[in-house]
Amino acid sequence: MIDVKGDIVGEDGAMKQEMVELWRRDLVECVEELIGNPALQDMMAYAYAPERAYADAKGDNRIYDELWTGDWWWETQVSTHH
């Protein structure tokens, strides 16, 4: 439990605060669980290859809707192969 002070003033003129329960999970275990879950099999992208998608045929309007469609993903893929 941690005591969190907010950025909203309460009726008493003081900043609102509350006790919240903080949970921590191992990120690698979470990803392994998600990837290994058969119920999610049809929703997973297993290639994770960088992809550029465009909203128009000329390629002027780029679509950013998944991690692998962003510039960072392209840059990371390139940097790991050098």
Among 3-12, 45-54, 57-66, 70-79, which stretch is predicted with the lowest mean pLDDT? 45-54
Within the chain, residue ranges assigned H as helices are 27-36, 71-80
46 with 29: CB under 8 angstroms?
Answer: no
Rounded distance between C-alpha atoms, residue 66 and residue 74, angstroms: 12
Full-model pTM: 0.42
- Residue spans per domain, the chain: 2-80
* Cα diameter, the chain: 59
Q: Give the pLDDT band (50/70/90) at residue 82.
A: low
- DSSP H helical segments within 8-59, as ranges? 27-36
Tokens (6 digits) for 19 = 């006790």
